[in-house]
Structure 1
Amino acid sequence: MTEISFYVGKQDNLHGRLFLACRVAQKAYDRGYHIHIHTDSLITSRQLDDLLWSFSPTSFIPHAIIENADKERIIISHDYEPHEDCDYLINLSNEQPKFFSRFTKMAEILDQTPDILTDGRKRYAYYRDRGYNLQYYQL
């Protein structure tokens, strides 16, 4: 059963959530996981792509947007369901990915935006009611 962690940042903007996703992706990458990052749009995918190249001056995280992906360990997409099971799903979308249960671990990335928090609470309740192992981190 998928382990699900909620990471809630202090900021109330997309850039803060993207930066938090970069930090989570870095940790997962360092642990050797194959990662799928699910976003809400191509624009968000491209913003995350840019940020992953520059968010840390001391690290490099090889990744690709799905339209350019070969066999990268980190894939970013807004409208693609992985064909194979993966280790780690990072959800930056404000909806529950239909394919989340195929992953060993999942991170839900939230911020202080009211809509993001409200929808995140609904997903938390959905997962809790179905017996998923949940972790919650207020950052």
Structure 2
Amino acid sequence: MKVEFYVLPSTQSADRLIAACRLAHKAWRAGFMTFIRCASAQQQAELDELLWTFRKASFIPHALYAEQNCAPVVLGINERPAHTPSVLINLHSELSTHLDCFSRVIEIVNQEPELLHICRQNFVRYRQLGYQPARVEL
């Protein structure tokens, strides 16, 4: 499994959601099933709305896990994805308990101090689990 930490230069949480939309769009266009793991139901609702509106020329076919768990892009919190292997875009502060379902994991990090600290800990945890996480500057 490939693990990447995409690092944003800003401290805005909204930028993480926009980056998640862009990455989901790219994965969907490349033919990958994608699971976006949100930190809360509120974040899930925000992202659901944003996926309809962030690009004026196109939309990303997606659904909430509770409504349709086999859409090309699924928004969940900690559910097991219906399609495996899939791409995981993790917005949650903890590692997924379903890492075995994913061929690729993307963590989106911004410069907010608390999130940076959590993501550094997660980077170490991935290494302890035997993965070789990579850092990608956006």
- TM-score w.r.t. length of structure 1: 0.91
| Separation of aligned partners in 2, 1:53 and 1:84 | 22
| Separation of aligned partners in 2, 1:68 and 1:11 | 33
Of stretches 52-61 and 28-37 in structure 1, the one that deviates more from structure 2 is 52-61
2:88 is equivalent to residue 128 of structure 1: no
Superposed, which structure 2 residues align to 1:1-139 within 5 Å?
2-69=1-68, 71-139=70-138
CA RMSD of aligned residues (A): 1.5
How high is the sequence identity, in percent, across the aligned residues? 32
**Contact residue 49 and residue 65 of structure 1 kept, 8 A:** yes
Q: Deviations over 1:50-102 (max 9, x none)?
A: 11111111222100011221531110011422255232011001111111232
Structure 2 unaligned residues grouped into runs of 5+: none
Q: Match of 1:5, SS?
A: strand
Of stretches 81-90 and 4-13 in structure 1, the one that deviates more from structure 2 is 81-90
| Separation of aligned partners in 2, 1:73 and 1:86 | 12
| Separation of aligned partners in 1, 2:22 and 2:35 | 14
**Contact residue 81 and residue 101 of structure 2 kept, 8 A:** no
Structure 1 unaligned residues grouped into runs of 5+: none
| Separation of aligned partners in 2, 1:66 and 1:130 | 27
**Contact residue 34 and residue 89 of structure 2 kept, 8 A:** yes
**Contact residue 78 and residue 96 of structure 2 kept, 8 A:** no
Q: Match of 1:56, SS?
A: coil
| Separation of aligned partners in 1, 2:112 and 2:92 | 13
| Separation of aligned partners in 2, 1:132 and 1:100 | 11
- TM-score w.r.t. length of structure 2: 0.92
Counterpart residue identity of residue 121, structure 1: R
**Contact residue 69 and residue 82 of structure 2 kept, 8 A:** no
Counterpart residue identity of residue 80, structure 2: E
**Contact residue 61 and residue 71 of structure 2 kept, 8 A:** yes
Runs of 4+ in 1 over 3 A off after TM superposition: none
